Structure 1
Amino acid sequence: MIVMPPFSFLRFALLLLACALQLSATAAAASLQQIRQRGQLVVGVSYVVPEYAAGAKYRTPEGFYNAAAEDLAQRLGVTLRTVKVTAQSRQQLLAQGKVDLLLLNLKQADADTLRARATLLPTSYQARPKLIMRSDTDIKRLAQLRGRSVCVARGGAYVGILAASYGAVEKVVNAPADALLALRTGACDAAVHDDAVLNGMLDLPEWKKFSASLPLDGSPATLTFAIRPADTELATYLQQLNGAWGDSGYWADNRKKWINNVAFEVYLDQNVPDCH
């Protein structure tokens, strides 16, 4: 019979208690019942959109993760709180129950890494980076982006990519409308956003003169829910939600709304002629 010294036994008991408490908190964090009782859904995202300040210009945010999280919270009848996560912190925050789920734009390599410790439920929204310029641009090859200005929206998936890959001078602005406005007025030589929305934007008559593009090296990213493997009830709910979104044209409606809103925001703020 092994007899533990009193101090070792106390440490062992405290360790077991800590593990039990952590497991209990983790299990409760993503239970649909617990979320509803708490009255709040906590979602980990790559960028927390700042709250709208009265009197400020409204700006449609980059990406659809915030809109999707808001829709999920509304369906559950609770409020939404978003928490910023990074590639280094997201698995830990999820495992510790500090977020109920993650909602991230994941490329295949990122998904493979995260799948080792989480259940992934991809939505139907997928996009690649698209670079657009004025139609009369003198930039004809990607190598010519070196030293040229490219506007990207804060919180987007493409911040840092153009500088690292092509030597461009990135101008990080608050929202997509600001990036596209800078392109129209000549403050930026190019802008980069999701092709899923920019392709539709370029169909508008007022954007025909800004339809020059170069293919960027970039694998598609899919907007994906990530949850703890034990949260099977939540997984079932999110699978059903993804199906409902796909059947109802949810993503097509969101893309159309984004295009119209951003185009209108640019129109309202453009007080100088297009730079030709």
Structure 2
Amino acid sequence: MYKAASVVACVSLALGTFASVQAGVLDDARARGVLRVGLDFVPPVYTAGAKFRTPEGIDGILAEALAARLKLKPEPLRNGGDSKALQAMKAARPDFALVMVDEAAVRSGNAANAADADGSVLIATGYSAGGMAIMRTDTDIKKWEQLKGRTVCLSEGGAYVGQMAARYGAIEKVMRAPADSLLAVRVGQCDAAVHDDTMLKELLKLPEWKKFSAQLPAPTRSALMFKVPANDAAAISYVKQAAADWSRGDFWPALKKKWTNNVAFEVYLDQNVPDCH
């Protein structure tokens, strides 16, 4: 009898584990009412009375968009870093993660191999960008190497923080958000601002940015990609469908326009001194 009971218990445990695996991350998210998405940077929670700032990355916007499709609340979690221990204590694991992947690695297959090694697959969101510098049109900086010893503004959580100093010997000034960085260029506190070229090119279409349209083009580009559990066919299918829908509609043009207009308006509201001449 004891042996038979043990077998039944083992089978029940195995079936329970199998059912849990079969449920997948989408079912888990629906059960808790929250979609957990890993981001490289989680902006501080907005507090009433503070100046609103549009964050650097758009990964948070995509996390919200994917959660909205599922009619769930988004819960951003920090990818890796010091937050791993905190997440473990909270038993919080992301259902998906959003990561920037070098396009050269994507083309070579190295990125897919690395993802496969950690049990995930990469799915393109449709967004890619590289670090572009913008400056006053009368700048004497004509190439990246001339940033040595010059002040470059970036924003907290941006993918290019640390790179300007390491690669070119620039003096980095990390600001709270893109609006603060771009404002600093306008009033002469920085020689250049470095942000995603996809968004900066939209910003430079605005007439008020004509005097600040000198550029250093992005030397490399990265694709924003979802990391999804490789053994979760339902999740993979769902994310691929979401990305396909975004690419067919006006999702991306509307997102870029909104980001650009918001950042430009934040700069306008805070610029209480004339542009540096």
Which TM-score bucket, shorter chain as reference?
Answer: 0.7 to 0.9
Superposed displacement of residue 28, structure 1: 7.1
Number of aligned residue pairs: give it: 255
CA contact (8 A) 1:30 1:97 kept: no
- Is 1:104 the equivalent of 2:106? no
Question: TM-score of the superposition, structure 2-length normalised?
Answer: 0.84
Identical residues among aligned pairs (%):
49
Superposed displacement of residue 41, structure 1: 0.8
Counterpart among 169, 184, 198 of residue 167 in structure 1? 169
Question: 1:232 is matched with which residue?
Answer: 233
Structure 2 distance, partners of 1:28, 1:72, is 21
CA contact (8 A) 1:28 1:34 kept: no
Superposed displacement of residue 97, structure 1: 7.8
Question: 2:244 is matched with which residue?
Answer: 243
Matched position secondary structure for 1:239: helix
Unaligned runs of 5+ in 1: 1-15
CA contact (8 A) 1:27 1:97 kept: no
Question: 2:253 is matched with which residue?
Answer: 252
Superposed displacement of residue 115, structure 1: 3.8
Question: 2:5 is matched with which residue?
Answer: none
Identify if the C-alpha distance between structure 1 residues 20 and 183 changes in structure 2 by more than 3 Å, giving closer, same or farther: farther
CA contact (8 A) 2:130 2:219 kept: no
Unaligned runs of 5+ in 2: 1-9
Identify if the C-alpha distance between structure 1 residues 26 and 201 changes in structure 2 by more than 3 Å, giving closer, same or farther: farther
1:38-57 → structure 2 map (5 Å cutoff) = 38-57=32-51
Q: What is the letter of the counterpart of residue 84 of structure 1?
A: R
Question: 1:7 is matched with which residue?
Answer: none
CA contact (8 A) 2:96 2:227 kept: yes
Q: What is the letter of the counterpart of residue 140 of structure 1?
A: K
Structure 1 distance, partners of 2:73, 2:218, is 38
Q: What is the letter of the counterpart of residue 85 of structure 1?
A: N
Question: 2:274 is matched with which residue?
Answer: 273
Question: 2:145 is matched with which residue?
Answer: 143
Map Cα deviations across residues 30-61 of structure 1 (whole Å, 9 max, x no partner): 43222111101111110011111100000111
Map Cα deviations across residues 150-186 of structure 1 (whole Å, 9 max, x no partner): 0111111111111111000111111110100001011
Map Cα deviations across residues 220-255 of structure 1 (whole Å, 9 max, x no partner): 111111011111101111111111111112111100
Matched position secondary structure for 1:237: helix
Question: 2:156 is matched with which residue?
Answer: 154
Superposed displacement of residue 124, structure 1: 0.8
CA contact (8 A) 1:29 1:100 kept: no
Structure 2 distance, partners of 1:221, 1:41, is 25
CA contact (8 A) 2:116 2:230 kept: no
Structure 2 distance, partners of 1:274, 1:20, is 68
Question: TM-score of the superposition, structure 1-length normalised?
Answer: 0.85
Matched position secondary structure for 2:167: helix
> Could you tell which deviates more after superposition, 122-131 or 102-111?
102-111
Structure 1 distance, partners of 2:82, 2:265, is 37
Matched position secondary structure for 2:56: coil
